Structure 1
């Protein structure tokens, strides 16, 4: 199930993004990017709909993933629920 970012408090959203950044270990190329910049980049992706916040009932966890990855997972696994009107 997709959780609209607007339903989270600012603190909860930032904490979720920070956990995602630390867990993913994203490669930003030759130049190191500080955490504040990474947070802003992920937040921008969420606001533009390029990334979504997803709750998995099966795994009982919240995660951030690309919208495309979510759609593909939806098709392949049927693990997550999505309202097709959200996209």
Structure 2
């Protein structure tokens, strides 16, 4: 599926293929969602996403490209299987 990220997706939960929340979208820009990782974000997923450490509060964020997304619903963004 071709997903189209918009600013309306900010604040949505990001879930893996099993439906477990792995983070929350902090910001969206130019077809990329910046995701604050949650406790359930596996090292496997982290290794496939680009890391962004230039956050003002020192938190890591991960770049989630539209190519990684299976589906966007009203409440969440579901990842494709990596």
- TM-score of the superposed pair, with normalisation by structure 1: 0.28
- Which one has a bigger Cα radius of gyration? 1
Greater share of helix residues, 1 or 2? 1
